[in-house]
Amino acid sequence: MQKTSILGRLEILADAAKYDASCASSGSVERNSRNGRGVGSTSGGMGICHAYAPDGRCISLLKLLLTNHCIFDCHYCVNRKSSNVERARFTPEEVVDLTLSFYRRNYIEGLFLSSGIVRSPDHTMEQIVRVARTLREVHDFRGYIHLKTIPEADPEIVAEAGIWADRVSINVELPTAASLARLAPDKNAPRIEGAMGGLHSRIVDARDARRKYRSAPRFAPAGQSTQMIVGADGTSDTQIIDKASRLYGRFGLRRVYYSAFSPIPDASAVLPLQRPPLMREHRLYQSDWLTRFYGFAPHEVSEAADANGMLPLDIDPKLAWALKFRDRFPIDLNRAPREAMLRVPGLGVKAVDALLGARRHRSIRLDDLARVTNSLRKLRPFVVTSDWRPVAMLDLADLRARLAPKPRQMELFG
């Protein structure tokens, strides 16, 4: 029997949204209602509602689908046309009411809204936009809004999403056009990238206009993001790293999210039966971090991969890279530039900046490292301090085994 109560539909549509990892409320503009005007705030962190992936990971904030009906048939998606799931649908007004009442109860800090495609991409996109427009215009809602946009919809309707939302996103879904054609036959890679390009131009234009005129309208101030599913096809990590770096470069994305493929109920036969190790997703996030904050070029991160283009699972990509390029070490922490220090395994950005600050006043000793990192064992072979110099450690044949985290015994009754 079809669930008609709001609660029943909420159960279905919040559950259906949990497979999307591409939401995070970072980088928005500061808005609040502390002066008694409007509703909501983009800051403060109160009333956060989390969503969980099927494996129990906490992946993000409140997420909701407008509907899980869909006329498309993407094999990896639980909501695809041929899937045998229970269906439900909200009207835009119902989502507006739900958002406001959840917000007032402090359950959420904003709205992440996506949808299956009903009737047509244009119709669906109009409904999504209507939710955000009503929240902003009618209710003066100042909380965070992230809208998932539909690349197949009219670019003008997609662009309206950016007028009301803090962040917009379009999922590239799969790393290669061939995989997309095989697993999401209704989607089209050039069209997805074309829509991303359209949003990027508008985001850049709006930023430029606001630099000149403070009253110029905002357009998706928290930028755009995307998501790639990992492990549903045979794409290697190096191909994924390469794709992500091209997306960052071409479309100025705020984030590329990686979502380890989770076998879904009633799965299509073209999908793998098993999900990839969750650690693979974690290593891809680490590699993403290396290119965004640690000065690694994408091809350098890829050098940490094995002959099949896969990053090691037992050690992080920065350590893997350092072990391959031992001739670049040890780094003298009292003299090296910041870029070289950021290459040291176990030293994060904050730790490097703290050491740079400290060395203006005194020499860096091993004790100083112990204060800024928990990874002293990992970084000793790679650094020189005023009281430490590794002797032949970098030549040890078993250095990798010595530095890899010890395997942990699974608990029988854990």
CB of 77 to ligand SF4, least distance (A): 3
Residues 392/395/398/404 CA torsion (nearest 10 deg) = 80
Single-letter residue type at 67:
T
Q: 303-342 mask for ligand SF4 (x: CB under 6 A)?
A: ----------------------------------------
Please give the Cα distance from 32 to 103 (Å, whole number).
Answer: 13
CB of 217 to ligand SF4, least distance (A): 29
CB of 284 to ligand SF4, least distance (A): 20
Residue with Cβ nearer ligand SF4 (70 or 113): 70
Q: How does DSSP assign 248-304, residue by residue?
A: HHHH--SEEEEEE----TT--TTS-SSPPPHHHHHHHHHHHHHHHHS---HHHHHTT
CB of 362 to ligand SF4, least distance (A): 56
Residue with Cβ nearer ligand SF4 (77 or 199): 77
Residues 205/207/213/216 CA torsion (nearest 10 deg) = 70
Please give the Cα distance from 148 to 20 (Å, whole number).
Answer: 10
Q: Is the dihedral of CA 288, 289, 293, 299 positive or negative?
A: negative
Q: Using CB under 6 A, which of the segments 21-29, 66-74, 268-276, 339-347 binds ligand SF4?
A: 66-74
Q: Is 80 in the site for ligand SF4 (CB under 6 A)?
A: yes
CB of 79 to ligand SF4, least distance (A): 4
Residue among 178, 174, 284, 187 at smallest CA distance from 232 = 174
CA 202 to each of CA 198, 207, 235, 252, 298: distance values in angstroms, whole numbers, following the listed order: 7, 8, 31, 12, 27
Residue with Cβ nearer ligand SF4 (124 or 291): 124
For 392, other C-beta atoms within 10 Å of its C-beta total 7
Q: Is 221 in the site for ligand SF4 (CB under 6 A)?
A: no
Residue among 318, 331, 319, 342 at smallest CA distance from 403 = 319
Residue with Cβ nearer ligand SF4 (192 or 241): 192
Please give the Cα distance from 64 to 15 (Å, whole number).
Answer: 8
CB of 58 to ligand SF4, least distance (A): 22
Phi, psi for residue 97 in degrees, rounded to 5: -60, -40
DSSP 8-state code for residue 134? I
- Using the rule CB under 6 A, which residue among 74, 135, 196, 320 binds ligand SF4? 74
Is there a contact between 261 and 55 (Cβ–Cβ < 8 Å)? no
Residue with Cβ nearer ligand SF4 (195 or 379): 195
- Using the rule CB under 6 A, which residue among 59, 95, 117, 222 binds ligand SF4? 117
Q: Using CB under 6 A, which of the segments 46-54, 69-77, 188-196, 266-274 binds ligand SF4?
A: 69-77
Tokens representing residue 255 in the block: 């984030």
User: In angstroms, what is the C-alpha Rg of the chain?
Assistant: 24
Q: Is 77 in the site for ligand SF4 (CB under 6 A)?
A: yes
Residue with Cβ nearer ligand SF4 (180 or 344): 180
Q: Using CB under 6 A, which of the segments 77-85, 226-234, 253-261, 297-305 binds ligand SF4?
A: 77-85
Residue with Cβ nearer ligand SF4 (63 or 80): 80
- Using the rule CB under 6 A, which residue among 70, 145, 183, 232 binds ligand SF4? 70
Tokens representing residue 129 in the block: 């936009």
Q: By CB under 6 A, how many residues form the interface with ligand SF4?
A: 9
- Using the rule CB under 6 A, which residue among 8, 39, 72, 163 binds ligand SF4? 72
Residue among 166, 134, 337, 325 at smallest CA distance from 254 = 166
Q: 85-104 mask for ligand SF4 (x: CB under 6 A)?
A: --------------------
Q: 162-191 mask for ligand SF4 (x: CB under 6 A)?
A: ----------------------x-------
Residue with Cβ nearer ligand SF4 (119 or 389): 119
Residue with Cβ nearer ligand SF4 (72 or 289): 72
Please give the Cα distance from 117 to 123 (Å, whole number).
Answer: 8
Please give the Cα distance from 152 to 156 (Å, whole number).
Answer: 11
Interface residues with ligand SF4 (CB under 6 A) are: 70, 72, 74, 77, 79-80, 116-117, 184
